[in-house]
């Protein structure tokens, strides 16, 4: 029976703000690796195992970013199932199980992996998978329990019993209780990773949460396929109750098993977890990017766009991006969400976008923004094209820096190369395409009474937006 990885990539990771944003979540960031994002590391990890092509369940807003990151590491045959709205892990895994049932026409083993976990000891993890496979083939629903290394209060726990049976699931404990769990040796961290037969999961979900099963089944039946994506029906999925696999299936089932994994693992949930996981210098600092530290200790300092200097500080997290800086006591890592909520409440956008925004055709970066003007650097990938569009409130001036631009400007179609430009008045239909073999780089100057991204009327778009 084949094993199909199911990569859950629906979260945002607001506790890792200002790096993690709604439109560029933590799983798409290279937090523990200078080259690969957490998502890419997860996909590469499954590639080292004897498994089939993965299924990725993700937020619809992240679809192009997910697809691009998979393509960058050579994963071209993944199924990407889009959630119109996040409904937690029980519905997300059900969507993956239904996709397997549709595509494979037979039962298969689902290896469920969150996209934001880090596992360096793949050999040890593979041994745990081998044992879990034996149990899952006998209709068990297997979760992987992490051997605790410290009295952690941020994780749920699992108490194991004989023959890998689950004796109980335990909520996140206080410190004293976590210390007792660690000392007893009877408890494992609840990793959020699972292995079971797809049909067994659907049967258990139907048995214990018929409401979730019916809503997800209806949404999947009314799906459509768009490019590389499977779009489930948004209206049907919106009425699906929100619940985790732990509460919906694993706790009520009589077939839960837990396989211990004692290797290297972290879920990188917040900045203190990243500090604990990362390699440190002689002063117990984690310094990333253009950072100078003098007399600093026990700090995580990360620079994204400029020099950050720290003198005589300790136990701090300092994270610099182009539009925001976080300075925080390392012991208050869980409270970053409070800042994100304030940003949302005040109608700001620093929780949503970075200054560089990724699109399926490339990216753009806001360089300057005033009352009636905005300057952007735009990159269009070879062979890609922006939508045919117009604006009611702004005019645009494009100057090509490098590469070749094929421009539709009203009724005219022109070809622009380096140091050439065109002006697009308000209300004129236009489009931009890169017909060349190298990235197109240009500067866009917008002027007008309203410069929001929602002032776009699309007439055609190859990406289905």
Whether the full predicted model's pTM is greater than 0.75, yes or no, is: yes
From 119, 80, 127, 83, select the one nearest 227 (Cα to Cα): 80
- pLDDT reported for residue 247: 95
Q: Which of the 8 DSSP states describes residue 423?
A: E
3-state DSSP assignment of residue 352: coil
- Cβ atoms 116, 13 nearer than 8 A: yes
- Does residue 378 surpass a pLDDT of 80? yes
* Overall average pLDDT of the 401-415 stretch: 97
Task: Give per-residue pLDDT as tens, 47-75.
Answer: 777 889 999 999 988 998 999 999 999 99
Reduce the DSSP state of residue 388 to 3 states and report it.
Answer: strand
232-286 tens-digit pLDDT? 999 999 999 999 999 999 999 999 999 999 888 988 889 999 999 899 999 999 9
Name the DSSP class of 250: I
**Looking at residue 41, what is its pLDDT?**
94
Q: Domain 356-460 classified CATH 3.40.50.10800? A: no
pLDDT computed for residue 106 by the predictor: 78
Contacts of 386 (CB under 8 A, 6+ apart): 359, 361, 380, 431, 432, 433
Assigned token pair, 421: 């430009």
Mean of the pLDDT values across residues 425-439? 97
Mean pLDDT of all residues in 141-155:
92
Mean pLDDT for the chain? 94
What pLDDT shows up at residue 11? 84
Spatial CA neighbour of 266 closest among 282, 257, 255, 277: 277
Q: Are residues 114 and 267 in contact, defined by beta-carbon separation less than 8 angstroms?
A: yes
pLDDT digits (tens, 9 = 90+) for 165-192: 999 999 999 999 999 999 999 999 999 9
Which residue reads 């140091």 in tokens? 419
Would you kindly state where each structural domain of the chain is located, as residue ranges? 3-261, 277-340, 356-460
Note the pLDDT of residue 43: 93
End-to-end CA distance of the chain: 38
Tell me what pLDDT residue 259 has: 97
How long, in residues, is the chain?
465
Please identify which residue in the block is written with the tokens 């609840």: 190
Q: Tell me if the bond preceding 318 is cis, omega within 30° of 0.
A: no
Q: What pLDDT was estimated at residue 147?
A: 92
Percentage of the chain lying above the pLDDT 70 cut: 100
**Which residue's entry shows tokens 């997910």?**
66
Q: pLDDT tens digits for 200-210?
A: 999 999 999 99
**Model confidence at 98, in pLDDT bands (50, 70, 90)?**
very high
Q: Domain spanning 3-261 has what CATH number? A: 3.90.550.10
Rg from Cα positions in the chain: 24
- Residue 1's pLDDT band, with cuts at 50, 70 and 90, is confident
User: What does the pLDDT look like over 319-375, one tens digit per residue?
Assistant: 999 999 999 999 999 899 999 999 999 999 899 988 888 888 999 999 999 999 999
């Amino acid at each position: 029976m084949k094993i199909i990885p199911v990569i859950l990539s629906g979260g945002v990771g607001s506790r890792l703000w200002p790096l993690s944003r709604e439109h560029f979540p933590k799983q798409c960031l290279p937090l523990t690796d200078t080259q690969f994002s957490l998502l890419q590391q997860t996909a590469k990890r499954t590639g080292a195992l004897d498994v089939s092509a993965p299924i990725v369940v993700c937020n619809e807003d992240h679809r192009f970013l997910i697809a691009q990151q998979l393509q960058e590491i050579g994963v071209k045959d993944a199924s990407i199932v889009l959630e119109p709205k996040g409904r937690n892990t029980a519905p997300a895994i059900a969507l993956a199980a239904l996709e397997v049932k549709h595509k494979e026409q037979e039962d298969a083993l689902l290896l469920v992996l969150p996209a934001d976990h880090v596992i360096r000891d793949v050999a040890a993890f593979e041994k745990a998978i081998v044992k879990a496979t034996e149990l899952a083939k006998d209709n068990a629903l297997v979760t992987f329990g992490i051997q605790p290394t410290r009295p952690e209060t941020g994780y749920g726990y699992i108490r194991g019993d004989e023959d890998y049976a689950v004796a109980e699931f335990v909520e996140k404990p206080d410190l004293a209780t976590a210390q007792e769990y660690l000392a007893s040796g009877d408890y494992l961290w609840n990793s959020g990773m699972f292995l079971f037969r797809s049909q067994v999961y659907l049967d258990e979900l139907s048995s214990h949460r018929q409401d979730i099963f019916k809503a997800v089944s209806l949404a999947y039946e009314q799906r459509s396929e768009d490019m590389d994506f499977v779009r489930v029906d948004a209206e049907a999925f919106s009425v699906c109750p929100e619940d985790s696999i732990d509460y919906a299936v694993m706790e009520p089932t009589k077939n839960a098993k837990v396989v211990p994994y004692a290797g290297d693992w972290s879920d990188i949930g917040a900045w203190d977890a990243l500090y604990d996981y990362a390699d440190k210098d002689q002063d117990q600092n984690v310094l990333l990017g253009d950072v100078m530290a003098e007399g600093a200790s026990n700090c995580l300092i990360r620079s994204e766009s400029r020099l950050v200097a720290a003198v005589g500080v300790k136990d701090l997290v300092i994270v610099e991006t182009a539009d925001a800086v976080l300075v925080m006591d390392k012991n208050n890592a869980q409270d970053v969400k409070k800042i994100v909520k304030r940003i949302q409440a005040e109608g700001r956008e620093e929780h949503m976008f970075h200054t560089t925004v990724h699109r399926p055709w490339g990216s753009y970066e806001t360089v300057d923004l005033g009352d009636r003007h905005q300057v952007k650097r735009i990159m269009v990938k070879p062979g890609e094209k922006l939508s045919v569009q117009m604006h009611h409130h702004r005019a645009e001036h494009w100057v090509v820096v490098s590469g070749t631009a094929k421009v539709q400007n009203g009724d005219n179609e022109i070809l622009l190369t380096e140091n050439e430009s065109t002006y697009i008045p308000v209300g004129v239909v236009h489009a931009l395409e890169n017909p060349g073999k190298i990235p197109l780089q240009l500067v866009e100057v917008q002027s007008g009474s309203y410069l929001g991204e929602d002032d776009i009327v699309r007439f055609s778009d190859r990406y289905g937006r």
